[in-house]
């Protein structure tokens, strides 16, 4: 299955991403849950965050 990044989708549509996140980190106490996360979301793109119950994906 082929994947296209939001940045590529935005470039193809000639639009800048409507949401850009760079170098996102998240800690829960001493637990380093996210490290250096980068994300671009193009207009019309749908993003879902999934994980096990209790993993903090609703926040």
Q: What is the pLDDT of residues 16-50, one digit of tens each?
A: 999 999 999 988 899 888 899 999 999 999 888 77
pLDDT of residue 1: 42
E-assigned strands of 1-59?
19-28, 31-41
Domain map (residue ranges) of the chain: 6-41
At 1-13, the pLDDT tens digits run 445 565 565 555 6
pLDDT at 20: 95
Comparing 15 with 39, which gets the higher pLDDT?
39
**CB of 9 within 8 A of CB of 45?**
yes
Tokens read off for 31: 């637990």
């Amino acid at each position: 299955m082929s994947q296209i990044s939001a940045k590529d989708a935005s470039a193809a549509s000639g639009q800048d991403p409507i949401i850009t996140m760079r170098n996102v980190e998240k800690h829960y106490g001493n637990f380093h849950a996210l490290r250096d996360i980068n994300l671009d979301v193009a207009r019309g793109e749908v993003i879902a965050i999934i994980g096990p119950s209790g993993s903090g994906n609703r926040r």
